[in-house]
Amino acid sequence: MWPQVPPADPAAANNILMRALGLVGTPYRFGGNTPETGFDCSGLVTYVYKDVLALPRTSRELAAIQGPRIPPERLATGDLVFFGSGGSVTHVGIYVGEGRFVHAPTTGGTVRLDFLDGAYWRDHYSGSKRVLH
């Protein structure tokens, strides 16, 4: 049974959406956490949320924070989406609506939008959390 979770404040969610979308195209860099240096996945999340929430730095720590788990069909803008395998979280992104999320995927890539139902992401999806209130 999934908990009933109220949606995030629309203004806060829109702010997160605009900030995340504005970073699309920024180069990936392992350990990066600014537009100037590039981003890894958790660096992107902490940067996008920095004016709203103090979040932990790694995808594993982000997955462990307090906050209700959200079923995929109830995702809302600003929810964190997690990916991994074997019970271990190895990647995080920010849901932006219409089945898409923003993330910093891999070395040599850039911050981009992907669909949650893409083959790789669907097969490695491990959960979601709402951190905006």
Which residues are identified as catalytic?
A: 41, 91, 103
> For residue 12, what are the contacts with CB-CB under 8 A and spacing of at least 6?
52, 78, 132
Residue whose tokens read 């997955």: 63
Residue 131 bridge partners (DSSP): none
Give yes or no for a contact between 92 and 98, defined as CB atoms under 8 angstroms apart. no
Cα distance between residue 77 and residue 97, in whole Å: 5
Residue whose tokens read 């806060």: 12
Distances (CA, A) of 77 to 1, 20, 36, 96, 105: 22, 11, 25, 5, 19
